[in-house]
Chains A and B, each alone.
Chain A
Amino acid sequence: MNERARKVEKLKNAVIVVLFLTTVLLLNLTWRSEGAAPFRLSSVLDFISPDVWVPDASEFIAADYTVCGFGDATFSRDADRAAADLDDLLQEFRAESANASFLINEVTEQQYREMLTGYRCLKVVLSCPVPFGEFCDRNQINRSSVFDQVGTVSALLVSEAAPESIFVEGGGQCWRFISDSEQDLASPLLVSLVRKDPIYFTAGSMLGNSNMAILPLTSSATLASSTWESEAAADVERAGRTMAESIFGENFDFVRRITDSFGNVTYMYGYGEKTLTCLTEGSFEYRTGTVEGQDPGFYNSLQNAIAFVATRGGWGSDRHALGYRLCGARTEGSGRNRLYTFEFAQMLDGMPLLSEDGPAIVVKVCGGEVNYYRRAVVSAAAQQAEEQQTADAANVLAGNCHLIHSVLGGNVLAASSDEEFAFVANRFRDASAGYIVTEDSLTPAWVITMEGGTKFFFGLYDAVPLGFTRD
């Protein structure tokens, strides 16, 4: 009997296990039939997993460099102190806006030239232009309706020529914000002016025109060429799949996948409403059809772009050092069709990596939604060489003026090289060092920025033309 009872109990155990399993199975079938899709990580990526690092937009709206003017038409340029100078300037602006009101005047070219060359001054240049209204709100600067005259801000400055004022540069204009408290706002900032090699002069004084952009007299560098590979080089196909899964989410298994004879893969959702192209070189390009919607503003659009990238390729694993810099921001259209274009340059040891196709990451946002995303991120290690003289920046411009002139669409009937040079010298805006991504290597280069944003690349040490961006 005991033996029989034991067998019965064992049978009951088995029955319980079987019934339990069938219950689970039937419940699963019930959930499936109710349309619950199988769990996919990609479907929750939009929710942003806590492991995904999403930088804040304010980390990208940063100071690029500081220009110190010594009142004798000489300048120095320093990237290391820019962040601190911007903080100090904003603090002054913020404090003054809380206690006083501002009168705003536009600064003439002549006044601008005099206050920069004839008086000690400090100018903090941002990495890209930002809508001034949002910039003030973001930095807790009280603003009145007179602030609306200023569209975008690309630099802030103070000058001994008008110590009670703060100057805002943007959109090719300069505005003087005169505080009615008449407090000396410039001196506390100018006390920290320090000369740093190399010495800079205005392009006007070196080249013989009125251009106020600055050029170094001489310079040296330790940059050396280095090899690079795409971030997806280890497994381009897998990287493409991962990117496609993150973009198409649960629809990934049903998108059209086209592979061309070169191995480039295009994923297409619907009738081309969304496409993702994965090139064999390891770059990606995502597009959707026209999107419109309520404009959330510059900073929110930028944050949306940052969050989108964070879950589709990411911003790198080092959460403490941002490996990217917002190097360009444009706005087109208005209202529900306002389109923001954000360009992010990859940084290598503090130097930007650029290419003829543009910076590493480009994102376009309309109505808060990303409708374009291009990613061509490289993996490289900076190489250093012995310090050597770079090619003279003024002669890089002068020696290549014919090339620059023809690319920028200058008057092709210009008979003389003098006319070509004058055209180029007037449109020059910035000269800085960086790397250009060529087919074989990262090459140290002079990055010459012209009016309108076109960039030209020349060898840093030999001034050989290396290419230019095509807008």
Chain B
Amino acid sequence: MRQIRRIVSLILVFAMLSTGIVFADAAAIVSPAANSIVYTDSLLVSVKVTELKTIRVSVYAERVVSGDKLVNADVSKFTEADLKAAAGSGKYTDVLLGEAATYTNTVEIGFYTKQIAVSPGLYKVKAETLETVMEWPEGATEPVEKIIVTETKSSLVAVKKKPVEEKPQVFQNNSTGAVTFIRKILKGLLK
């Protein structure tokens, strides 16, 4: 009996996972990349929609309580690990920036893009896939439309302002100081 129950449970789990594969995500947040650190004062929000669905995109400032006010989180020392830990930690309060925007995709692949002015802090971009369903409220004579959220994606990003001298060097010096010195001497002799 126990054996049969185990087998049935496995089959059910497998079936649920399969439905998860069939009904792939309709929306994916392309920018900002999840748990990323950026150095900018204008954040690009880009959400890719791969089904004929409507999405709602909201950008929240993740604020912390300071006295009786909500202020931007201090992310100056944040690492990627800190960002991962911040998600779902409950330490932050979502403050909606502007208004949530809706975007309806009418082709196979579409993009919702927007630029948001930001200052250093922690931000969350949320993309909710919406669907309109018909519901019979109790006592109603006819069904009414109701918008439900079928899927939610979110991405945390830390916006920092880094001093120029801390920027990583893109190009290594091509020669050591000694070699450069010798090259210059030789060049002077050969001129």
Contact = CB atoms under 8 A, between A and B. Distances in A.
- Do the two chains touch directly in the complex (Cβ atoms below 8 Å apart)? yes
Interface in A180-236: 180, 199, 201, 205-208, 217-218
Contacts of A207: 30, 46, 48, 111
Using C-beta atoms within 8 Å of the partner chain, give the interface range for chain B: 20 to 34
Contacts of B183: 180
B40 interface: yes
A208 B184 contact: no
B113 interface: yes
Interface residues of A, number: 36
A206 B31 contact: yes
B170 A161 contact: yes
Contacts of A178: 174
A61 interface: no
Interface stretch (B4-12, B15-23, B102-110, B136-144): B102-110
B2 interface: no
B100 to A, nearest CB: 19
A417 B107 CA distance: 10
A72 B162 CA distance: 11
Interface string B102-127: 00000111110111000000000000
A105 interface: yes
Interface string B21-49: 00000001011000000111110101010
A74 B115 CA distance: 10
Contact of B110 (A114, A199, A395): A395
A205 B50 CA distance: 17
Interface in A80-121: 101, 103, 105, 111, 114-115, 118-119
A162 interface: yes
Contacts of A218: 113
A398 B183 CA distance: 52
A72 B184 contact: no
B50 A118 contact: no
B6 to A, nearest CB: 36
Contact of A206 (B46, B168, B184): B46
B42 A199 contact: yes
A327 to B, nearest CB: 28
Interface in A413-433: 417-418, 421
A155 interface: no
A73 B170 CA distance: 15
Contacts of B42: 72, 74, 199
B91 to A, nearest CB: 27
Nearest to B42: A74
A208 B49 CA distance: 12
A398 B111 contact: yes
A114 B113 CA distance: 22
Nearest to A417: B108
Contacts of B69: none
B30 A208 contact: yes
A206 B113 contact: yes
Contacts of B77: none
A375 interface: no
Given A206-B30, A418-B50, A115 B110 contact: no
Given A72-B39, A398-B109, A399-B110, A111 B171 contact: yes
A303 B76 CA distance: 58
A205 B30 CA distance: 7
A162 B174 CA distance: 12
Nearest to A165: B171
A402 B109 CA distance: 10
Contacts of A201: 44
Interface in B176-191: 180, 183-184, 187
B51 to A, nearest CB: 10
B109 A217 contact: no
Contacts of A105: 171, 174
A176 interface: yes
A208 B167 contact: no
Contact of B40 (A74, A103, A180, A402): A74
A394 interface: yes
A72 B120 CA distance: 13
Contacts of B184: 180
Contact of A115 (B38, B107, B114, B170): B170
A205 B46 contact: yes
A365 interface: no
A69 to B, nearest CB: 12
Interface in A375-416: 392, 394-395, 398-399, 401-402
29 contacts: A72-B38, A72-B42, A103-B174, A105-B174, A115-B171, A118-B39, A118-B170, A119-B167, A161-B170, A161-B171, A199-B42, A199-B115, A205-B31, A206-B30, A206-B31, A206-B44, A206-B46, A207-B30, A208-B46, A392-B113, A394-B111, A395-B110, A395-B111, A398-B107, A398-B109, A398-B110, A398-B111, A399-B108, A418-B109
Given A72-B38, A206-B30, A206-B111, 5 more contacts: A103-B174, A206-B31, A392-B113, A418-B50, A421-B109
Give the 8 A-B residue pairs with the shortest CB-CB distance, closest first: A72-B40, A208-B30, A399-B107, A161-B170, A417-B108, A398-B109, A394-B111, A114-B170
